Amino acid sequence: MPNGGHTSDQEWKEIRAFFDRIDVTLNTFAERYGLFIDKYYHDAADWTFRFGHPKEGNGQIQVSKKGSDRVNLYLCWYRDDYDRFTRSLKLDSVNDVEITGPDLSRALSKSLETILGWPENDWSQVESDYTKEEFQNVGPKYSVPKNAGGS
């Protein structure tokens, strides 16, 4: 489902060519930790790694194309409280990561470590616009990353 952007066929060729240049790094990272890859979610120029957070809820790292040789990483951990009908989120970002050399792989691993290390109840925002049924139907359950270390 598109987010409303109007990306031409030529732009999509360029986006796919960009991610083809880093797909080995991205796929290796996902395989190493057992993460689900969501490619071009809502027709956006990004790949998102999704996983169940060991402290409950779900986490994700969104790899967003920035120019011809860089990405921004958007980190998120969210937890739904069905009894209070709220979603709590912790958000952060890592900007201007070079896609060549070891920088991207290191940044991805560090981002996962960061998300898994966030303390509980240190949320960036709390939303309460959902019903219990909407929460339960938001999406699939993801597995906790393997080889994550820590808690």
Phi, psi of 101 (to 5 degrees): 70, -160
109-122: pLDDT as tens digits:
999 999 999 999 89
pTM over 0.75: yes
The answer to whether residue 151 scores a pLDDT higher than 70 is no
Coil vs helix vs strand at 18? helix
Spatial separation of the C-alpha atoms in residues 59 and 144, rounded to whole Å:
9
pLDDT of residue 35: 97
Mean pLDDT of 125-148: 77
* pLDDT band (50, 70, 90) for residue 1: very low
Q: Sheet containing 125-127: give its strands across.
A: 36-39, 46-52, 58-66, 70-81, 86-98, 125-127
Spatial separation of the C-alpha atoms in residues 45 and 30, rounded to whole Å:
18
Mean pLDDT of 44-65: 96
Amino acid at residue number 26 = L
Spatial separation of the C-alpha atoms in residues 129 and 18, rounded to whole Å:
37
Q: Give the domain ranges of the chain.
A: 9-136
